[in-house]
Chains A and B, each alone.
Chain A
């Protein structure tokens, strides 16, 4: 008998448009001390399973079939009061965002002791002692002192440790962790995963980790279950499933994961994912006859720098005050100098708060630099005030943003969104021509003509990102800034978008500044990479050199944190370059 048994789970969501089956016939089991990964893309129903197990399924969601057994005891039909004794006490939970899962008005100690007193019936003093011991065991030093602090006095990673302590405090048999590291930086992610694994083995707790991240799965789980649209498509030991996947969906999912050890020319065409109108590739590349391909005499790689950033600095004023000495400011970018050659893809990598997005916005002219200069094609654009020059500069630089949900105006039709730059810069003489160009652009990024009259909310994240790319291309730019263009997307969609960007770069000779926190993605996309930390540029190197022979300690550290994906199946991959990293 397994510790947790989920059998034939069916979950439906009813709405006035009819019933939606969210989970269909899913059976899973979990042993003590085992870590089971549930992986799938957004909308696959991963979190719904987790919520069903802990009885927190929000209406209109309903379990229509199936049983959940905890230690042989059926828990899915318990009345709410009885379920409260199970939740927290026998099943612990860890949520994604440590910012919102702690009560900001209570000390960490109070939150820990409260649930222990409720569930374990021990007195205040004992509870406090145990809380201190718990904090110690999740790696928080000076636990006695920290107990009396409030959540805001902890950093993000520390807070997630507290959340873990909270999940552990009543010695549950099962822990359900829903995307426990998604909101954290890579270096903290690695620590938290290590901690979870160690605790699991030590306390013989069964853990279900719900995630979209293959890296997390590869790093920590013993077994993995792959979900696709509410169905379980494959389940088995992690190494086996990832190393030699059986189901077509698992195969395409794994082929879409960016690797740090090999560089692919292109991601294999990922089947099994949302419909993209697939053009024939020949047609795709015949850009010379298209609007975008015309009037460009700057294609091709050369050693001439297109963008030169020198001594660039940016200071944000966090608290303004009349007196200068009372102002609090933050140097988001400190004296950064680098240059981007014509036709290359330059990557910037760093953790959150390292200033990479600020640099992008400084180059694009969205922020005014505090000091330093940006030269574009040998013109200092930080001091441009001639309107004509400024507009021609703006036409040549475009940006693709991170969040596909906020980067399109929800009240405008796709035609108007993509046509806006064309109309604004008066690039087309007639409205009919504008329409033709827009339709060509949408076709180019893999969307059909019927998209023209629709509104953004009718599209998925990946499709929206395609629309953003179409809009960015509408001015026929020479230089494209991509600020984390795929970090909000599922892996398979990410693979498609990265393919699209690669194609564009090749056929149009675009120069690209590619910003990401994700080293494997950088590896796939970039020719040269700059590593940033706390607003400083630490190292710039050719991508291959950076991955095989990093100079700076921080780069080495970042590389060492990448989850080992070398046992992943390489079926169907077109490897361009492989550099073996030394193990460790």
Chain B
């Protein structure tokens, strides 16, 4: 059975298109490397930036190992608290990826469900959901995320801010991105709903919920996959932006955005490495995921094949 699945995957058009696209292969490798590095950060990183016992303020602001004042212990230098930049980046991308993936999941679940309901039910329900979507679309996503984040901070007790900030951020970014999913899924659902296999299912007396889950959902997921990949890059960048603005992840467990913010204040004093290296990591991650998404969109589009 597994063999069967593997050989089917190997023979599929998607794999063929993948093996023919150098861009896709390179970005997949880059994304995979960063992903693996983030996942196994405790194993691969030379230091543990969160372990206060190993930090030494005397090690603060050391430039990268290859420069004049560099220290071979810290390949990419250290930040203002003596944390190893390489380790901080690995742990940081862990948080960035976590927030990105979780908020994409959140958007996807909300957006796909609302899109399915909207497209299948039609009428008033559809109008209400789509008008809400239109209103939300008239604001930039980052503004919505900021707004939600701000409201959440105002409502939550002050001492729980740091512990809850991760969840607040996931919610804020997630809620700002559902519209795209909902619109796409709604359109696809309206097409599928009128197909005869759905009528056949209605004919045996299936309830709308079952029809949506068993029949329509699997058939509208193709474009969703593409949106989700591209959205992942957007979500990672949004997280970085919010953290950079200081409303995201607190500096005690820095994400890539937080690291860039910390480094920002040292840029003019010449300590460029603190914000440049996390910046490069962020660009590589976002770019590779974005390119993968673009490739996936083209590969799944029969007209561009």
Interface residues of A (CB under 8 A from B): 16, 361, 364-366, 390-391, 394-395, 397-399, 401-403, 406-412, 420-421, 424-425, 468, 471-472, 475
Contact = CB atoms under 8 A, between A and B. Distances in A.
Nearest to B217: A411
Interface stretch (B140-148, B203-211, B278-286): B203-211
A424 B219 contact: no
B16 interface: yes
Given A409-B219, A410-B219, A475 B195 contact: no
Given A390-B205, A394-B205, A424-B205, A408 B199 contact: no
A366 B204 contact: no
Given A399-B199, A424-B205, A425-B204, 16 more contacts: A361-B199, A365-B203, A394-B203, A399-B200, A399-B203, A401-B196, A402-B196, A406-B195, A406-B196, A407-B196, A407-B197, A409-B218, A409-B219, A424-B204, A425-B205, A472-B200
Nearest to B202: A366
B232 to A, nearest CB: 24
A453 to B, nearest CB: 10
Contact of A411 (B196, B203, B218): B218
Closest 3 CB pairs of A and B: A407-B196, A401-B196, A411-B218
B215 interface: yes
A304 to B, nearest CB: 24
B203 to A, nearest CB: 6
Contacts of B287: none
10 contacts: A364-B203, A365-B203, A399-B199, A399-B200, A407-B195, A407-B199, A408-B197, A409-B218, A411-B218, A425-B204
A420 B196 contact: no
A413 B205 CA distance: 20
Contact of B204 (A361, A394, A406): A394
Contacts of B203: 364-366, 394, 397-399
Interface in B1-51: 16
B299 interface: no
Nearest to B198: A409
A412 B205 CA distance: 19
Given A16-B16, A409-B215, A391 B205 contact: yes
B201 interface: yes
A406 B196 CA distance: 6
A323 B34 CA distance: 59
Contacts of A424: 204-206
A366 B204 CA distance: 10
Contact of A401 (B200, B206, B218, B219): B200
Interface residues of B, number: 15
A534 B206 CA distance: 32
A364 B16 CA distance: 45
B34 to A, nearest CB: 32
A17 to B, nearest CB: 10
Contacts of B195: 406-407
Looking at B195, B197, B201, B202, the one whose CB has the most chain A CB atoms below 10 A away is: B197
Contacts of A421: 204
Contacts of B197: 406-409
A382 to B, nearest CB: 16
A3 B16 CA distance: 46
Nearest to B201: A420
A403 B205 contact: no
A199 B92 CA distance: 77
A320 to B, nearest CB: 9
B199 to A, nearest CB: 6
Contact of B200 (A365, A391, A395, A471): A471
Contacts of A398: 203-204
A409 B200 CA distance: 10
A411 B219 contact: yes
A421 B204 CA distance: 6
A571 to B, nearest CB: 37
A468 B199 CA distance: 12
Contacts of B201: 420
A361 B194 CA distance: 13
A10 B179 CA distance: 52
Which of A394, A409, A472, A475: most chain B CB closer than 10 A? A409
Nearest to B215: A409
Interface in B161-217: 195-197, 199-206, 215
A528 B202 CA distance: 29
Contacts of A471: 200
Nearest to A392: B205
A399 B197 CA distance: 11
Nearest to B4: A453
A403 B215 CA distance: 17
Contacts of A394: 203-205
B39 to A, nearest CB: 31
B196 A475 contact: no
Contacts of A406: 195-197
A411 B195 CA distance: 14
A391 B205 CA distance: 6
A399 B204 CA distance: 10
A475 B219 CA distance: 25
A406 B195 CA distance: 6
A408 to B, nearest CB: 6
Nearest to B210: A424
Contacts of A468: 200
A141 B121 CA distance: 46
B200 A475 contact: no
A361 B203 CA distance: 9
Contacts of B218: 409, 411-412
Given A16-B16, A424-B206, A403 B196 contact: yes
Nearest to B197: A409
Contact of A420 (B16, B204, B219): B204
Contacts of A403: 196
Contacts of B205: 390-391, 394, 424-425
A425 B195 CA distance: 22
B201 to A, nearest CB: 7
A366 B199 contact: yes
A388 B205 CA distance: 11
A466 B166 CA distance: 55
